[in-house]
Chain A
Protein backbone atom coordinates (compact mmCIF):
# COMPACT_ATOMS: atom_id res chain seq x y z
CA UNK A 1 0.00 0.00 0.00
CA UNK A 2 1.22 3.44 -0.85
CA UNK A 3 1.48 6.21 1.66
CA UNK A 4 -0.33 9.51 1.69
CA UNK A 5 0.46 12.73 3.45
CA UNK A 6 -2.61 13.49 5.49
CA UNK A 7 -3.53 15.43 8.59
CA UNK A 8 -6.29 14.01 10.74
CA UNK A 9 -7.68 16.19 13.48
CA UNK A 10 -9.87 14.47 16.06
CA UNK A 11 -9.89 14.06 19.83
CA UNK A 12 -7.95 11.22 21.49
CA UNK A 13 -10.67 10.61 24.02
CA UNK A 14 -14.41 11.17 24.22
CA UNK A 15 -17.33 10.34 26.46
CA UNK A 16 -19.71 7.63 25.28
CA UNK A 17 -22.47 9.22 23.23
CA UNK A 18 -20.54 12.39 22.53
CA UNK A 19 -20.60 13.70 18.97
CA UNK A 20 -17.02 14.25 17.88
CA UNK A 21 -15.83 16.32 14.93
CA UNK A 22 -13.24 14.86 12.59
CA UNK A 23 -11.33 16.95 10.07
CA UNK A 24 -9.14 15.37 7.44
CA UNK A 25 -6.92 16.94 4.84
CA UNK A 26 -4.88 14.88 2.37
CA UNK A 27 -2.16 16.08 0.07
CA UNK A 28 -3.31 15.35 -3.48
CA UNK A 29 -3.43 17.30 -6.75
CA UNK A 30 -6.90 16.00 -7.73
CA UNK A 31 -5.90 16.30 -11.39
CA UNK A 32 -8.69 16.84 -13.85
CA UNK A 33 -8.54 15.25 -17.27
CA UNK A 34 -7.00 17.74 -19.67
CA UNK A 35 -7.75 17.18 -23.33
CA UNK A 36 -7.77 20.48 -25.20
CA UNK A 37 -5.97 21.81 -28.28
CA UNK A 38 -2.56 23.22 -27.42
CA UNK A 39 -2.34 21.51 -24.03
CA UNK A 40 -0.53 18.32 -23.06
CA UNK A 41 -3.12 15.59 -22.62
CA UNK A 42 -3.40 14.34 -19.06
CA UNK A 43 -5.61 11.58 -17.72
CA UNK A 44 -7.84 12.21 -14.72
CA UNK A 45 -6.20 11.26 -11.45
CA UNK A 46 -8.21 12.07 -8.37
CA UNK A 47 -9.11 10.50 -5.07
CA UNK A 48 -12.59 9.29 -6.02
CA UNK A 49 -13.70 7.69 -2.76
CA UNK A 50 -13.06 8.42 0.90
CA UNK A 51 -14.41 6.06 3.52
CA UNK A 52 -14.08 5.86 7.26
CA UNK A 53 -14.65 2.84 9.44
CA UNK A 54 -14.89 3.00 13.23
CA UNK A 55 -14.28 -0.27 15.10
CA UNK A 56 -14.91 -2.11 11.84
CA UNK A 57 -18.15 -0.38 10.84
CA UNK A 58 -18.41 2.16 8.07
CA UNK A 59 -19.52 5.50 9.52
CA UNK A 60 -18.77 7.87 6.65
CA UNK A 61 -18.33 7.61 2.90
CA UNK A 62 -17.77 10.30 0.33
CA UNK A 63 -17.72 10.08 -3.45
CA UNK A 64 -15.43 12.83 -4.73
CA UNK A 65 -15.25 14.31 -8.21
CA UNK A 66 -13.02 16.72 -10.07
CA UNK A 67 -15.28 19.38 -8.49
CA UNK A 68 -13.45 18.91 -5.19
CA UNK A 69 -10.46 21.19 -4.62
CA UNK A 70 -6.89 19.91 -4.57
CA UNK A 71 -5.70 18.67 -1.18
CA UNK A 72 -9.23 17.58 -0.32
CA UNK A 73 -10.49 18.76 3.04
CA UNK A 74 -13.34 16.84 4.61
CA UNK A 75 -15.01 17.53 7.94
CA UNK A 76 -17.73 15.35 9.44
CA UNK A 77 -19.01 14.07 12.77
CA UNK A 78 -19.52 10.71 14.44
CA UNK A 79 -20.90 9.50 17.77
CA UNK A 80 -18.35 8.02 20.19
CA UNK A 81 -19.65 4.49 20.78
CA UNK A 82 -16.68 2.45 21.98
CA UNK A 83 -12.91 2.54 22.18
CA UNK A 84 -11.60 1.53 18.79
CA UNK A 85 -9.65 2.18 15.64
CA UNK A 86 -10.66 4.61 12.95
CA UNK A 87 -9.47 3.63 9.49
CA UNK A 88 -9.43 6.41 6.90
CA UNK A 89 -9.21 5.13 3.35
CA UNK A 90 -8.76 7.07 0.11
CA UNK A 91 -9.20 5.34 -3.24
CA UNK A 92 -7.42 6.87 -6.22
CA UNK A 93 -8.03 6.56 -9.97
CA UNK A 94 -5.86 3.70 -11.17
CA UNK A 95 -6.61 1.56 -8.14
CA UNK A 96 -4.22 2.90 -5.50
CA UNK A 97 -5.60 2.80 -1.97
CA UNK A 98 -4.19 4.89 0.86
CA UNK A 99 -4.95 4.25 4.51
CA UNK A 100 -4.39 6.00 7.79
CA UNK A 101 -5.48 4.97 11.25
CA UNK A 102 -6.32 6.70 14.49
CA UNK A 103 -7.53 5.47 17.85
CA UNK A 104 -10.33 6.90 19.95
CA UNK A 105 -10.59 6.06 23.62
CA UNK A 106 -14.15 6.22 24.89
CA UNK A 107 -14.75 6.67 28.59
Chain B
Protein backbone atom coordinates (compact mmCIF):
# COMPACT_ATOMS: atom_id res chain seq x y z
CA UNK B 1 0.00 0.00 0.00
CA UNK B 2 2.93 2.33 0.63
CA UNK B 3 3.90 2.27 -3.02
CA UNK B 4 0.35 2.93 -4.11
CA UNK B 5 -0.13 6.04 -2.00
CA UNK B 6 3.18 7.47 -3.20
CA UNK B 7 2.14 6.85 -6.79
CA UNK B 8 -1.26 8.41 -6.17
CA UNK B 9 0.44 11.58 -4.92
CA UNK B 10 2.78 11.62 -7.92
CA UNK B 11 -0.21 11.37 -10.21
CA UNK B 12 -1.92 14.43 -8.76
CA UNK B 13 -0.37 17.22 -10.84
CA UNK B 14 -0.99 15.17 -13.98
CA UNK B 15 -4.66 14.78 -13.13
CA UNK B 16 -4.83 18.56 -12.75
CA UNK B 17 -3.91 18.99 -16.41
CA UNK B 18 -6.39 16.91 -18.41
CA UNK B 19 -4.59 15.65 -21.48
CA UNK B 20 -2.42 18.31 -22.95
CA UNK B 21 -5.23 20.79 -23.52
CA UNK B 22 -3.40 23.53 -21.66
CA UNK B 23 -0.42 23.33 -23.99
CA UNK B 24 -2.37 24.17 -27.13
CA UNK B 25 -1.02 27.70 -27.61
CA UNK B 26 2.45 26.93 -26.29
CA UNK B 27 5.40 27.36 -28.66
CA UNK B 28 8.09 24.71 -29.08
CA UNK B 29 10.66 26.91 -27.33
CA UNK B 30 8.28 27.69 -24.47
CA UNK B 31 7.42 24.01 -24.01
CA UNK B 32 11.09 23.03 -23.84
CA UNK B 33 11.85 25.86 -21.40
CA UNK B 34 8.93 24.83 -19.19
CA UNK B 35 10.10 21.22 -19.04
CA UNK B 36 13.75 22.10 -18.42
CA UNK B 37 12.73 24.56 -15.69
CA UNK B 38 16.20 26.10 -15.64
CA UNK B 39 18.08 22.78 -15.74
CA UNK B 40 20.89 22.23 -18.23
CA UNK B 41 20.10 19.12 -20.26
CA UNK B 42 22.55 16.26 -20.75
CA UNK B 43 23.14 15.68 -24.46
CA UNK B 44 23.51 11.91 -24.15
CA UNK B 45 21.69 8.80 -23.02
CA UNK B 46 18.80 8.86 -25.48
CA UNK B 47 18.53 6.78 -28.63
CA UNK B 48 15.80 7.74 -31.09
CA UNK B 49 14.64 5.32 -33.74
CA UNK B 50 12.67 7.22 -36.38
CA UNK B 51 12.89 7.14 -40.17
CA UNK B 52 15.04 9.92 -41.60
CA UNK B 53 12.48 10.38 -44.34
CA UNK B 54 8.75 9.86 -44.04
CA UNK B 55 6.49 9.71 -47.08
CA UNK B 56 3.46 10.50 -44.96
CA UNK B 57 3.51 12.74 -41.91
CA UNK B 58 0.23 11.30 -40.65
CA UNK B 59 1.97 8.32 -39.15
CA UNK B 60 5.68 8.33 -38.35
CA UNK B 61 7.11 5.39 -36.42
CA UNK B 62 8.86 6.72 -33.34
CA UNK B 63 10.75 4.67 -30.79
CA UNK B 64 13.07 5.85 -28.05
CA UNK B 65 15.17 4.37 -25.32
CA UNK B 66 16.94 6.10 -22.47
CA UNK B 67 20.00 4.65 -20.73
CA UNK B 68 19.12 4.36 -17.05
CA UNK B 69 19.74 1.80 -14.29
CA UNK B 70 15.95 2.00 -13.59
CA UNK B 71 16.44 1.39 -9.86
CA UNK B 72 14.37 2.91 -7.06
CA UNK B 73 17.12 5.51 -6.55
CA UNK B 74 17.87 6.32 -10.16
CA UNK B 75 15.25 5.88 -12.84
CA UNK B 76 13.47 7.76 -15.60
CA UNK B 77 10.25 9.37 -14.39
CA UNK B 78 8.96 11.39 -17.33
CA UNK B 79 9.64 11.40 -21.06
CA UNK B 80 8.42 14.17 -23.36
CA UNK B 81 8.24 14.19 -27.15
CA UNK B 82 8.16 17.66 -28.67
CA UNK B 83 7.73 18.73 -32.30
CA UNK B 84 9.56 21.81 -33.51
CA UNK B 85 6.98 22.81 -36.13
CA UNK B 86 3.69 21.04 -35.38
CA UNK B 87 0.75 23.28 -34.43
CA UNK B 88 1.03 21.70 -30.99
CA UNK B 89 4.57 21.41 -29.69
CA UNK B 90 3.87 18.74 -27.08
CA UNK B 91 3.26 15.46 -28.85
CA UNK B 92 3.22 13.16 -25.84
CA UNK B 93 4.31 12.77 -22.26
CA UNK B 94 5.00 9.41 -20.63
CA UNK B 95 5.13 8.80 -16.89
CA UNK B 96 7.02 5.69 -15.89
CA UNK B 97 8.91 4.41 -12.85
CA UNK B 98 11.47 1.75 -11.95
CA UNK B 99 8.58 -0.69 -12.47
CA UNK B 100 9.11 -0.24 -16.23
CA UNK B 101 12.41 -2.13 -15.97
CA UNK B 102 13.66 -0.33 -19.07
CA UNK B 103 13.00 3.16 -20.37
CA UNK B 104 11.87 2.05 -23.81
CA UNK B 105 8.77 3.40 -25.51
CA UNK B 106 7.39 3.37 -29.02
CA UNK B 107 4.45 5.08 -30.68
CA UNK B 108 3.44 6.69 -33.97
CA UNK B 109 3.41 10.44 -34.31
CA UNK B 110 2.10 13.06 -36.72
CA UNK B 111 4.54 15.49 -38.29
CA UNK B 112 3.10 18.51 -40.09
CA UNK B 113 6.29 19.18 -42.02
CA UNK B 114 10.03 18.50 -42.13
CA UNK B 115 11.32 19.31 -38.66
CA UNK B 116 13.22 18.22 -35.58
CA UNK B 117 11.53 15.92 -33.09
CA UNK B 118 12.91 16.43 -29.59
CA UNK B 119 12.96 14.03 -26.66
CA UNK B 120 13.46 15.18 -23.08
CA UNK B 121 13.78 12.50 -20.40
CA UNK B 122 13.66 13.45 -16.72
CA UNK B 123 15.32 11.28 -14.09
CA UNK B 124 14.35 10.72 -10.45
CA UNK B 125 17.51 12.64 -9.55
CA UNK B 126 16.29 15.75 -11.31
CA UNK B 127 18.50 15.52 -14.39
CA UNK B 128 17.19 15.91 -17.93
CA UNK B 129 18.52 14.06 -20.96
CA UNK B 130 17.93 15.69 -24.34
CA UNK B 131 18.14 14.41 -27.91
CA UNK B 132 16.63 15.45 -31.19
CA UNK B 133 16.37 14.02 -34.67
CA UNK B 134 15.22 15.53 -37.93
CA UNK B 135 12.55 13.88 -40.02
CA UNK B 136 12.03 14.84 -43.65
CA UNK B 137 8.31 14.75 -44.41
CA UNK B 138 7.17 14.45 -48.02
CA UNK B 139 3.42 14.75 -47.40
CA UNK B 140 2.69 16.61 -44.19
CA UNK B 141 -0.06 15.91 -41.69
CA UNK B 142 -1.51 19.38 -42.15
CA UNK B 143 -5.08 20.58 -42.23
CA UNK B 144 -5.80 23.78 -44.11
CA UNK B 145 -8.36 25.21 -46.48
CA UNK B 146 -5.99 25.64 -49.42
A-to-B contact residues, CB < 8 Å: 19, 23, 32, 34, 36-39, 46, 48-49, 54, 56-70, 72-79, 81, 91, 93
- The answer to whether B19 and A48 touch across the interface, beta carbons within 8 angstroms, is yes
B108 partner, pick from A69, A78, A93, beta carbons under 8 A: A69
When A56-B4, A62-B93 are in contact, do A73 and B11 touch as well, CB less than 8 Å?
A: no
B145 partner, pick from A38, A46, A54, A79, beta carbons under 8 A: A38
Nearest CB of B to A23, in Å: 8
- The answer to whether B20 and A65 touch across the interface, beta carbons within 8 angstroms, is yes
B143 partner, pick from A32, A56, A68, A69, beta carbons under 8 A: A32
Number of interface residues of B (CB under 8 A): 43
Which residues of chain B have C-beta atoms less than 8 A from A58's C-beta? 7, 11
- Of chain B, the residue at the smallest CB distance from A54 is B99
Which residues of chain B have C-beta atoms less than 8 A from A61's C-beta? 11, 14, 94-96
B73 at the binding interface (Cβ < 8 Å): no
When A67-B86, A81-B99 are in contact, do A62 and B94 touch as well, CB less than 8 Å?
A: yes
When A37-B145, A77-B102, A79-B99 are in contact, do A65 and B88 touch as well, CB less than 8 Å?
A: yes
Give the docked Cα–Cα distance between A73 and B108 (Å): 6
Q: A59-B100, A62-B93 are in contact. List 16 more A-B contacts (CB 8 A).
A: A34-B143, A36-B143, A36-B144, A49-B18, A57-B3, A57-B4, A57-B7, A58-B7, A60-B94, A63-B19, A67-B83, A67-B110, A74-B107, A75-B63, A78-B99, A79-B99
